[in-house]
Amino acid sequence: MRFFQPFLLFTLAIHASPVLVVETAVVTKIAIPTQKVIVQVKAPNHDAKPHPQAAPKKSTKAPKKPKEQKYFHEPGWDNESGHYDSRYFRGKVPYEQHRPALRHLVRSYLTTFKTLGAETWLAHGSLLGWWWNGRIMPWDYDLDVQVSVATLSFLGDRYNRSMHEYEYEVDGEENETFLFDATAETKLERIDLRNSNGSDHDNKEGVTTTKVKKTYLLDINPHYSALTKGNGANIIDARWIDMSNGMFIDITGLREREPERAPGIWSCKNNHRYLTSELWPLRRTEFEGVEAWIPYSFDKVLTDEYGAKSLVVEEWAGHRWIPELREWVKIPKKNPPSPSKEKEHPLADDTNTETVVVYEEVVVEDEKKGV
């Protein structure tokens, strides 16, 4: 019986409590291939630059500068109309009248600047006209002068937009000429030069002249102090303008633009360059009947700009130099040959054909005389 007790107890225990099954895993060392994954974690670097893709793209093009606005304006539909100030333009001055108008324009300028104590001298085409006969070239429709930038500053501070009256007398053929610009800004006054006793000044027939008082405007370009040409809209630094018709004198300022690298080299914004010794001391002379000043080395200045031929060629711009007259004379245009009368009108009389031939002979003969 004692033999069966343990067995009985074991049997009772199985039926009295749940069965707990414990499995014991057997670990065996078997090499299984796996993929190696490396994860790197970096600490944030606040000094590092952001990734190029993260930052907005910056344009490599330089920002556009505002376009420089032109100060002086001209009508400018052709070369001739480009030599008038738009504010006072009232129509083209005819060929026969424009030269006398320019003559008094430059006389008023030179006289006024002398009164103001402002140094100025002839330049470009006006200087070339002085070289030939001390007068304006008949094909020029404006005039050119130069000043130093110091003079420009003086004029800009004291006389900008100032109006100046100039009075002169004209007689003979000029009387009719200046009736063209008798506007509100031009006062015409007839003066009888005869004395009270009825006699006249060196003229027994009596002389009546016209006394003219005109107003001219000195206008300084606010861009005159610019060191560079820019877009080329303001290369003219100032103008002396005839307010009756818009004709003007271009005034350009010279300065040492690179005094440290290139001392003694003076230039305007349009890249005309001169040495100090070529400009000063200025030479006193006469131009269109009044006192004027020119560069010291005027011959070099002219040949550098226009070439040596400009001082000797005697035919230019439809004009011919007449040494006996010391004057440029306009070359008459040849009339185109008339079409053959026989071809166009087989029945035309001989009188018309003969007249054409005689007319052509007269024109050729006049040209040989230099008329």
Global pTM value: 0.69
Mean pLDDT score across all residues of the chain: 77
What ranges make up the beta strands (E) of the chain? 121-122, 143-148, 162-170, 186-192, 208-220, 238-242, 248-256, 265-267, 273-275, 283-287, 290-294, 315-316, 319-322, 327-330
Distance CA 158, CA 153 (A): 9
Mean pLDDT over 48-76 rounds to 71
Mean pLDDT over 218-228 rounds to 95
> What confidence tier does 338 reach under pLDDT thresholds 50, 70, 90?
low
Please say if the pLDDT value at position 326 is more than 90.
yes
> What confidence tier does 31 reach under pLDDT thresholds 50, 70, 90?
very low
User: Taking a C-beta distance cutoff of 8 angstroms, is the pair 238, 144 a contact?
Assistant: no
Residue written as token pair 């040596």: 308
Among 16-20, 41-45, 274-278, 326-330, name the one with the lowest average pLDDT: 16-20
> What confidence tier does 348 reach under pLDDT thresholds 50, 70, 90?
very low
Please say if the pLDDT value at position 343 is more than 60.
no
> Given this model, what pLDDT does residue 68 score?
86
pLDDT in tens, 133-168: 999 999 999 999 999 999 999 999 999 999 999 999
Mean pLDDT over 61-67 rounds to 68
* 294 or 48, greater pLDDT: 294
Cα–Cα–Cα angle for 209, 330, 123, rounded to 5 degrees: 80
> What confidence tier does 193 reach under pLDDT thresholds 50, 70, 90?
very low
Residue written as token pair 């027939």: 205
Domain boundaries, the chain: 81-313
Please say if the pLDDT value at position 179 is more than 70.
no
Cα-only R_g, the chain: 47
